Amino acid sequence: MTEILAERACRLIAVETDAALASSLRTRFTAHQNVQIIESDVLRVDFSSLACDRFHVYGNLPYYITSPILTRLFRFAAHIESIHIVIQQEVAERIVAAPGHRDYAWLSVLCRYFTRPEIVLRIPPGAFRPPPKVQSALVSMQLPGERARLNVARDEAFLEFLRQSFAQKRKTLRNNLKSIFPDEKIAAAFSACDLTPNARAEELSLVQFADLFRQLAPHK
Protein backbone atom coordinates (compact mmCIF):
# COMPACT_ATOMS: atom_id res chain seq x y z
CA MET A 1 0.00 0.00 0.00
CA THR A 2 2.81 2.39 0.86
CA GLU A 3 4.47 1.72 -2.51
CA ILE A 4 1.28 2.45 -4.43
CA LEU A 5 0.60 5.65 -2.51
CA ALA A 6 4.23 6.79 -2.88
CA GLU A 7 3.84 6.75 -6.66
CA ARG A 8 0.71 8.91 -6.54
CA ALA A 9 1.05 11.28 -3.59
CA CYS A 10 2.86 14.62 -3.56
CA ARG A 11 3.71 13.84 0.04
CA LEU A 12 3.27 10.61 1.94
CA ILE A 13 3.68 10.21 5.69
CA ALA A 14 3.73 6.61 6.90
CA VAL A 15 3.23 5.98 10.62
CA GLU A 16 4.74 2.76 11.97
CA THR A 17 5.08 1.86 15.66
CA ASP A 18 7.38 -1.14 15.20
CA ALA A 19 11.03 -0.01 15.22
CA ALA A 20 12.27 -2.79 12.94
CA LEU A 21 9.52 -2.23 10.39
CA ALA A 22 10.03 1.55 10.48
CA SER A 23 13.75 1.04 9.81
CA SER A 24 12.96 -1.30 6.94
CA LEU A 25 10.57 1.24 5.44
CA ARG A 26 13.19 4.00 5.61
CA THR A 27 15.64 1.81 3.71
CA ARG A 28 13.04 0.76 1.19
CA PHE A 29 11.95 4.32 0.39
CA THR A 30 15.29 6.12 0.58
CA ALA A 31 15.01 7.21 -3.03
CA HIS A 32 11.49 8.60 -2.59
CA GLN A 33 11.83 12.26 -1.62
CA ASN A 34 8.08 12.50 -1.06
CA VAL A 35 7.96 9.76 1.61
CA GLN A 36 8.47 10.39 5.32
CA ILE A 37 8.45 7.56 7.87
CA ILE A 38 7.25 8.44 11.38
CA GLU A 39 8.16 5.88 14.03
CA SER A 40 5.36 6.41 16.52
CA ASP A 41 2.16 5.10 18.01
CA VAL A 42 -0.62 6.47 15.80
CA LEU A 43 -2.63 7.27 18.96
CA ARG A 44 0.05 9.80 19.92
CA VAL A 45 0.62 11.49 16.58
CA ASP A 46 -0.25 15.18 16.27
CA PHE A 47 -1.64 15.05 12.75
CA SER A 48 -2.08 18.82 12.55
CA SER A 49 1.72 19.22 12.65
CA LEU A 50 2.39 16.72 9.87
CA ALA A 51 0.68 18.34 6.93
CA CYS A 52 -0.35 21.74 5.72
CA ASP A 53 -4.06 22.28 5.17
CA ARG A 54 -5.93 19.02 4.38
CA PHE A 55 -4.89 15.42 3.74
CA HIS A 56 -6.21 11.88 3.16
CA VAL A 57 -5.83 8.92 5.55
CA TYR A 58 -5.24 5.32 4.44
CA GLY A 59 -4.57 2.31 6.61
CA ASN A 60 -5.00 -1.31 7.59
CA LEU A 61 -6.01 -0.75 11.19
CA PRO A 62 -5.28 -3.14 14.06
CA TYR A 63 -8.78 -4.48 14.60
CA TYR A 64 -8.68 -4.25 18.39
CA ILE A 65 -8.01 -0.48 18.43
CA THR A 66 -10.15 0.67 15.50
CA SER A 67 -12.38 2.83 17.68
CA PRO A 68 -9.52 4.59 19.55
CA ILE A 69 -7.76 5.33 16.25
CA LEU A 70 -10.89 6.83 14.70
CA THR A 71 -11.56 8.87 17.83
CA ARG A 72 -7.99 10.19 17.61
CA LEU A 73 -8.33 11.03 13.91
CA PHE A 74 -11.59 12.90 14.45
CA ARG A 75 -9.76 15.31 16.75
CA PHE A 76 -8.09 16.54 13.57
CA ALA A 77 -11.21 16.48 11.39
CA ALA A 78 -10.59 20.04 10.20
CA HIS A 79 -7.46 18.80 8.39
CA ILE A 80 -8.82 15.54 6.95
CA GLU A 81 -10.36 15.23 3.49
CA SER A 82 -11.16 11.52 3.64
CA ILE A 83 -10.40 8.28 5.51
CA HIS A 84 -10.04 4.85 3.86
CA ILE A 85 -9.46 1.95 6.24
CA VAL A 86 -9.49 -1.84 6.22
CA ILE A 87 -11.13 -3.09 9.42
CA GLN A 88 -13.06 -6.05 10.78
CA GLN A 89 -16.35 -6.40 8.90
CA GLU A 90 -18.35 -6.55 12.13
CA VAL A 91 -17.00 -3.14 13.12
CA ALA A 92 -17.56 -1.80 9.61
CA GLU A 93 -21.23 -2.81 9.80
CA ARG A 94 -21.50 -0.95 13.09
CA ILE A 95 -19.94 2.17 11.60
CA VAL A 96 -22.36 2.39 8.67
CA ALA A 97 -25.48 1.28 10.60
CA ALA A 98 -28.49 3.59 10.40
CA PRO A 99 -30.95 4.47 13.21
CA GLY A 100 -33.23 1.54 13.99
CA HIS A 101 -30.68 -1.08 12.93
CA ARG A 102 -29.45 -3.55 15.55
CA ASP A 103 -25.82 -2.52 14.89
CA TYR A 104 -26.51 1.20 15.41
CA ALA A 105 -24.40 2.27 18.39
CA TRP A 106 -22.01 4.86 19.80
CA LEU A 107 -19.44 4.22 17.06
CA SER A 108 -22.15 4.69 14.42
CA VAL A 109 -23.12 8.16 15.61
CA LEU A 110 -19.49 9.16 16.21
CA CYS A 111 -18.54 8.31 12.62
CA ARG A 112 -21.71 9.80 11.13
CA TYR A 113 -21.14 13.01 13.06
CA PHE A 114 -17.72 13.56 11.49
CA THR A 115 -17.98 11.63 8.19
CA ARG A 116 -20.16 10.01 5.54
CA PRO A 117 -19.16 6.35 5.91
CA GLU A 118 -19.65 3.62 3.30
CA ILE A 119 -18.51 0.01 2.96
CA VAL A 120 -16.94 -0.14 -0.50
CA LEU A 121 -15.38 -3.61 -0.44
CA ARG A 122 -15.80 -6.80 1.59
CA ILE A 123 -12.58 -8.77 1.96
CA PRO A 124 -12.41 -12.53 2.71
CA PRO A 125 -9.82 -13.98 5.13
CA GLY A 126 -7.97 -15.59 2.21
CA ALA A 127 -6.88 -12.16 0.97
CA PHE A 128 -4.42 -11.93 3.89
CA ARG A 129 -1.34 -13.91 4.88
CA PRO A 130 -1.79 -15.38 7.39
CA PRO A 131 -5.58 -15.33 7.04
CA PRO A 132 -7.42 -13.83 10.04
CA LYS A 133 -10.35 -15.60 11.67
CA VAL A 134 -12.73 -12.76 10.77
CA GLN A 135 -14.14 -11.13 7.65
CA SER A 136 -12.77 -7.70 6.76
CA ALA A 137 -14.05 -4.66 4.89
CA LEU A 138 -12.77 -1.47 3.31
CA VAL A 139 -14.64 1.53 4.66
CA SER A 140 -14.50 4.90 2.94
CA MET A 141 -15.33 8.01 4.97
CA GLN A 142 -15.74 11.39 3.31
CA LEU A 143 -15.64 14.49 5.47
CA PRO A 144 -17.52 16.45 6.64
CA GLY A 145 -20.35 14.43 8.14
CA GLU A 146 -23.58 15.60 9.77
CA ARG A 147 -21.61 17.83 12.11
CA ALA A 148 -21.50 20.46 9.36
CA ARG A 149 -25.28 20.97 9.41
CA LEU A 150 -26.17 20.23 13.03
CA ASN A 151 -24.56 23.41 14.34
CA VAL A 152 -23.71 21.95 17.75
CA ALA A 153 -21.64 24.56 19.57
CA ARG A 154 -19.76 22.24 21.95
CA ASP A 155 -18.36 19.15 20.28
CA GLU A 156 -16.85 17.52 23.37
CA ALA A 157 -19.97 17.96 25.48
CA PHE A 158 -22.21 16.65 22.69
CA LEU A 159 -20.01 13.62 22.05
CA GLU A 160 -19.98 12.77 25.75
CA PHE A 161 -23.77 13.12 25.74
CA LEU A 162 -23.93 10.66 22.83
CA ARG A 163 -21.59 8.24 24.59
CA GLN A 164 -23.74 8.30 27.71
CA SER A 165 -26.87 7.81 25.62
CA PHE A 166 -25.50 4.45 24.43
CA ALA A 167 -23.84 3.54 27.74
CA GLN A 168 -26.03 0.50 28.37
CA LYS A 169 -27.82 -0.74 25.28
CA ARG A 170 -30.45 -2.71 27.17
CA LYS A 171 -31.61 0.39 29.01
CA THR A 172 -33.94 3.03 27.62
CA LEU A 173 -32.40 6.36 26.65
CA ARG A 174 -34.11 8.00 29.60
CA ASN A 175 -32.49 5.58 32.06
CA ASN A 176 -29.07 6.05 30.47
CA LEU A 177 -29.34 9.81 30.85
CA LYS A 178 -30.44 9.74 34.49
CA SER A 179 -26.82 9.62 35.59
CA ILE A 180 -26.19 13.13 34.21
CA PHE A 181 -29.59 14.87 34.22
CA PRO A 182 -32.54 15.02 36.66
CA ASP A 183 -35.41 12.78 35.59
CA GLU A 184 -37.92 15.64 35.50
CA LYS A 185 -35.66 17.56 33.13
CA ILE A 186 -35.31 14.51 30.91
CA ALA A 187 -39.10 14.07 30.83
CA ALA A 188 -39.61 17.72 29.83
CA ALA A 189 -36.95 17.47 27.11
CA PHE A 190 -38.46 14.27 25.73
CA SER A 191 -41.85 15.94 25.54
CA ALA A 192 -40.40 18.99 23.76
CA CYS A 193 -38.69 16.71 21.22
CA ASP A 194 -41.76 14.47 20.72
CA LEU A 195 -39.96 11.40 22.08
CA THR A 196 -41.79 8.64 23.91
CA PRO A 197 -40.67 7.90 27.50
CA ASN A 198 -39.45 4.46 26.41
CA ALA A 199 -37.40 5.70 23.45
CA ARG A 200 -34.05 4.00 23.00
CA ALA A 201 -30.82 5.52 21.77
CA GLU A 202 -30.66 3.24 18.74
CA GLU A 203 -33.94 4.74 17.47
CA LEU A 204 -32.72 8.35 17.28
CA SER A 205 -31.01 10.10 14.38
CA LEU A 206 -28.21 12.59 14.99
CA VAL A 207 -30.65 15.42 14.28
CA GLN A 208 -32.89 14.16 17.10
CA PHE A 209 -29.91 13.75 19.43
CA ALA A 210 -28.83 17.33 18.70
CA ASP A 211 -32.34 18.66 19.42
CA LEU A 212 -32.49 16.70 22.69
CA PHE A 213 -29.02 17.91 23.70
CA ARG A 214 -30.07 21.54 23.23
CA GLN A 215 -33.09 20.94 25.45
CA LEU A 216 -31.10 19.24 28.21
CA ALA A 217 -27.89 21.27 28.19
CA PRO A 218 -28.55 24.72 26.75
CA HIS A 219 -25.83 26.38 28.84
CA LYS A 220 -23.69 23.79 30.65
- What is the per-residue pLDDT across 4-32, written as a single tens digit (0 to 9) for each? 999 999 999 999 999 999 999 999 999 99
Q: List the CATH code of the domain at 155-216.
A: 1.10.8.100
Give, in order, the Cα–Cα distances in Å from 127 to each of 21, 54, 86, 90, 123: 21, 31, 12, 17, 7
Q: Write out the residue limits of the CATH 3.40.50.150 domain(s) in the chain.
A: 41-146
Is the dihedral angle over the CA atoms 131, 3, 8, 27 positive or is it negative?
Answer: positive
Mean pLDDT, to the nearest integer, of 103-119? 97
Is CATH 3.40.50.150 the classification given to domain 41-146?
yes
Q: Write out the residue limits of the CATH 1.10.8.100 domain(s) in the chain.
A: 155-216
pLDDT at 51: 65
Q: Is the pLDDT of residue 217 over 90?
A: no
**Ramachandran region of residue 131, left (φ > 0), alpha (ψ -120 to 50) or beta?**
beta
CB atoms within 10 A of CB 66: 20
First-to-last alpha carbon distance for the chain, in angstroms, is: 45
